[in-house]
Amino acid sequence: MTRKTKEEKKIAAYRKKLQLLQEITRAKNIDQPKQVSEPPSEKTIETIENQSTPIHFIKDLKKSLVLIFFIITLEIIIYFVSINR
C-alpha cells in the first residue's frame, strides 16, 4: 500500500472529526426535546456589532501608530547618519 501524504492525513483527520461531531449532534437532538427559540431582536444585533467594531478599530489604530512611529524614527536616524558622512 502506498503511504499517505500530509494532505491525505489532514483530510482523514477532518473526516473523523466531522463524523464525531455529527454523532454528538445526533445524540443531543435525540436526548433534548425541540425548543423554539426566538430570533435575536434587531437591537441586540446592533449592540453586538457596535461593541465589536470600535475594539478592532482601536487595535488597528494602535498598531498603525506604532509602525508610523518606528518608521519616522528610522528616517530621522538615517538622516543624521548621512549628515555625518
CA distance 79 to 71: 12
Say yes or no: 46 and 19 in one domain: no
Q: Is the separation of the CB atoms in 27 and 35 below 8 Å?
A: no
pLDDT computed for residue 70 by the predictor: 97
Q: In this structure, are 16 and 51 located in the same domain? A: no
Is the pLDDT at 48 greater than 80? The verdict is no
Domain count of the fold of the chain: 2
Together in a domain, 23 and 52? no
Residue with cell 435575536: 40
Per-residue burial over 11-43, b if 16 or more Cβ lie within 10 Å, else e, is eeeeeeeeeeeeeeeeeeeeeeeeeeeeeeeee
C-alpha 20/C-alpha 64 separation (Å) is 43
Q: Are residues 28 and 52 in the same domain?
A: no
Judgement on whether residues 49 and 84 belong to the same structural domain of the protein:
yes
One-letter amino acid at 54 equals P
The answer to whether 16 and 24 have CB atoms below 8 angstroms apart is no
Domain that holds residue 82: 42-85
pLDDT (average), residues 59-84: 94
Give residue-wise pLDDT tens across range 26-41.
877 666 665 666 665 6
| Reported confidence tier of residue 20, pLDDT bands at 50, 70, 90 | confident
